[in-house]
Amino acid sequence: MMIGHLSFAGFAELVISSGVVAWLQKVDPGLLRLTAPDAPDLNAPASLQEDRKLWPAAWKLWLGLGILLALTPLGILTVGAGWGEWRPGDFSLGQVPSGLARLSSLWTAPFARYAPSFVPNAWFGYLVSAMVGVGLIILLSLLLYRVVSYRAATVREPVAGRRRKSFVEKTIRSLLHVLQDALFAEETAQSAGLLQRLDARVKLVGMGLLILTAVALHRISVLAALLAAAVLLAAASRIPVRVLAAKVWIGVLAFTGIVALPAIFLTPGVAVFRLPVLDWTVSYQGLRTAAFLILRGETAATFAVLLVLCTLWTRLLRALRFFRVPAVLVAIVGMTYRYIFLFLETARDMFEAREVRLIGSLEPADRRRLATASAGLLLGKSIQLSGEVHLAMQARGFRGDIHLLENPSMRSKDWLGLAAFSGLAGAAMWFGR
């Protein structure tokens, strides 16, 4: 859950929340001031905004810090050491945790146990420790603010012969890359490769069997051989290995590697080696578990991508209906596929229109405001487009069934391919059990 929320869900919530706030700042700023009365009025004249200083609102923060500093000597009233402030001498002989005994001398705080050596009074020592700690934090914060402000000022300055790419340009380039990937998939599906010659139903069944086999195998060597077979199928289907590496292997390795990394240290078993300083044990069983997870993910994803890159989308939907997949599900998948391209085209046109109207480079705050406003506009257009696409497909007689110009039929090479897929999956299951 942490990985998903920190990478995708959290970013989506950030964009949506900031978009809503940016929209409220324009249409109803009074609603925001119900919980933030000190917020500046963005609709006020610039002269009034400059005259209104926010420093009065900070006195509460400084007052709270002062109270906390004055109360720090209360720590000497506690019995024993504070939580997490232990040292080996606080434990009886033989009861010292091994990690604490080994790492206690790795780093020593400037004012250990809140007792500076030059202050004989314990009460005043606590106060000096708190003052020095807060002062260092404020100093580092101001230094960081100065560095960030300096970098922002240098970025805004014109550079001869070089122009920094704006947010809009980067977005347009990303959208074009997505469309190019889709066109590449269509081109590879129409090429004269091995998998392209087979019927879509054969590839759907065969790749499904191989994916289930990859998940069920219990031998790393057989799993690696199945991945090698997938690479050979890709080469026979005229799909370069670099495409698989860029589109599949790197992404799957990054995701499954993060998930599998704790298993290397948490799985009990025979110790292979220990990490220095941390003294974490890497077990053979942990390495084996992580290797299984990564290889299974890579193999299953490779077969799935081969199915997509070597099969036209309409034929794949038609194959789903052949296996009695409900027409509602096929219609949802088909509309989603078509709608994604409409959405990408709309986003590209919108950002191109913004690009031709921009002069110079935007400030960081303006770029963030542009991003949130664009997200809100795309959300509104997506709702409108979904209704228009649905009505257009209904007007053309679409009811969930996929109709092709020719009726696909099983040929001898299709039966041979189905037998080859079944034989490969069966042999892998037999040797990998």
**pTM confidence score:** 0.57
Task: Note the pLDDT tens digit of each residue in 350-381.
Answer: 777 777 777 766 676 777 777 777 777 777 77
Name the nearest CA neighbour of 310 among 387, 239, 359. Answer: 239
State the Cα–Cα distance between residues 420 and 210, nearest whole angstrom.
11
Tokens (6 digits) for 133: 């700690």
**Domains in the chain: how many in total?**
3
Q: Are residues 310 and 412 in the same domain?
A: yes
Classify each residue of 176-197 as buried b or exposed e, where b means 16 or more C-beta atoms within 10 Å of its C-beta: eeeeeeeeebeebbeeebbbbe
Q: Are residues 343 and 242 in the same domain?
A: yes
344 and 175 in contact (C-beta within 8 Å)?
yes
Q: Between 160 and 248, where is the model more confident?
A: 248
In a domain, 81, yes or no: no
Q: Are residues 33 and 134 in the same domain?
A: no
* Rounded CA Rg of the chain: 31
- Please give the pLDDT value at position 155: 55
Task: Note the pLDDT tens digit of each residue in 54-70.
Answer: 455 567 778 888 888 88
Other C-beta atoms within 10 Å of 52: how many?
12
- Give the 3-state secondary structure percentages of the chain, helix then strand then coil, rounded to 5: 70, 0, 25
Task: Note the pLDDT tens digit of each residue in 324-341.
Answer: 777 777 777 777 777 777
- Please give the pLDDT value at position 50: 46
Q: For tokens 């009886």, what's the residue?
A: 92
What is the mean pLDDT of the segment spanning 374-399? Answer: 77
At residue 159, does pLDDT exceed 50?
Answer: no
111 and 132 in contact (C-beta within 8 Å)?
yes
Q: Between 80 and 322, where is the model more confident?
A: 322
Q: Are residues 278 and 366 in the same domain?
A: yes
Q: Between 298 and 72, where is the model more confident?
A: 298
Q: Between 214 and 387, where is the model more confident?
A: 214
Task: Note the pLDDT tens digit of each residue in 234-245.
Answer: 888 888 888 888
Name the nearest CA neighbour of 247 among 203, 305, 288. Answer: 305
In a domain, 153, yes or no: no
- Please give the pLDDT value at position 228: 92
Q: Are residues 208 and 242 in the same domain?
A: yes
Q: For tokens 């590449």, what's the residue?
A: 184
State the Cα–Cα distance between residues 112 and 256, nearest whole angstrom.
41
In a domain, 63, yes or no: no
In a domain, 311, yes or no: yes
Q: Are residues 196 and 239 in the same domain?
A: yes
Q: Are residues 130 and 182 in the same domain?
A: no
In a domain, 62, yes or no: no
Q: Are residues 180 and 306 in the same domain?
A: yes
Residue 142 structural domain: 119-147
What is the mean pLDDT of the segment spanning 383-409? Answer: 72
In a domain, 199, yes or no: yes
At residue 394, does pLDDT exceed 70?
Answer: yes
Question: What's at 185, amino acid-wise?
Answer: A
Q: Are residues 248 and 329 in the same domain?
A: yes
Angle of helix 250-266 relative to helix 284-309, nearest 10 degrees? 160
In a domain, 79, yes or no: no
- Please give the pLDDT value at position 140: 92
351 and 176 in contact (C-beta within 8 Å)?
no
At residue 287, does pLDDT exceed 60?
Answer: yes
At residue 99, does pLDDT exceed 80?
Answer: no
Q: Between 6 and 288, where is the model more confident?
A: 288
Task: Note the pLDDT tens digit of each residue in 116-147.
Answer: 878 888 788 888 888 888 889 889 988 998 88
State the Cα–Cα distance between residues 319 and 401, nearest whole angstrom.
11
Distance of CA 152 to the CA centre of its chain: 26
Q: Are residues 217 and 328 in the same domain?
A: yes
Q: Are residues 257 and 343 in the same domain?
A: yes
State the Cα–Cα distance between residues 169 and 355, nearest whole angstrom.
7
| Percentage with pLDDT > 90 across the chain | 5
Dihedral of alpha carbons 196, 197, 200, 203, sign: negative
Compute the residue count for the chain: 433
Q: Are residues 271 and 310 in the same domain?
A: yes
- Please give the pLDDT value at position 158: 47
> Which of the four pLDDT bands, split at 50, 70 and 90, describes residue 225?
very high
In a domain, 324, yes or no: yes
Q: Between 235 and 84, where is the model more confident?
A: 235
Task: Note the pLDDT tens digit of each residue in 16-55.
Answer: 888 788 777 777 777 777 777 666 665 555 544 444 444 5
